Amino acid sequence: MCDNTLVMEPCQAVPEGTPALSDHDVHHLLTHVDDWELVDGLLEKVFHFEDHYQTMAFVNAVAWISHREDHHPEMVIAYDACMVRYSTHTVDGLSRNDFLCAAKVDHLVEQ
């Protein structure tokens, strides 16, 4: 189960020049999201569904979160799966916003 504290916290603007999270902070925050992994320095998780309709409903819900939080993931969509990948371009790495959105996405599938 994801950390509800992260689910409730809104994303904040990350100004140019802000440093990426330290390795220590990244590994700490990883313990607060379910089954997300670091892949090539990005926060990534693959979600599996029963069919394409459920996959697309999930994609649309993630799009709504992305719009509301103004923080947009990369998504790769298949018939019954969606890979979601977060990073923060302005820090050229990971920011707290990536983990906040990961928790919000996890919360979608917990319902």
Look at residue 25 and tell me if it is in a domain.
no
pLDDT at residue 5, rounded to an integer: 86
Q: DSSP for 17-50, please give it.
A: TPPPPPHHHHHHHHTTSSS-EEETTEEEEEEE-S
For 90, what's the count of Cα atoms within 13 Å in the CB-facing half-sphere? 13
What's 59's domain CATH number?
Answer: 3.30.1360.20
Torsion, Cα 63 65 68 72, to 10 degrees, reads -60
Look at residue 28 and tell me if it is in a domain.
no
> Closest by alpha carbon to 58, among 28, 94, 76, 82?
82
Look at residue 84 and tell me if it is in a domain.
yes
Look at residue 103 and tell me if it is in a domain.
yes
45 is in which domain, residue-wise? 37-111
Look at residue 57 and tell me if it is in a domain.
yes
Domain count for the chain, please give it: 1
Look at residue 14 and tell me if it is in a domain.
no
Q: Can you tell me the distance from the alpha carbon of 75 to that of 31, in angstroms, rounded to the nearest whole number?
A: 22
**pLDDT one digit per residue (tens) for the chain, 111 residues:** 555 789 999 999 999 899 999 999 999 999 999 999 999 999 999 999 999 999 999 999 999 999 999 999 999 999 999 999 999 999 999 999 999 999 999 999 885
pTM attached to this predicted model: 0.94
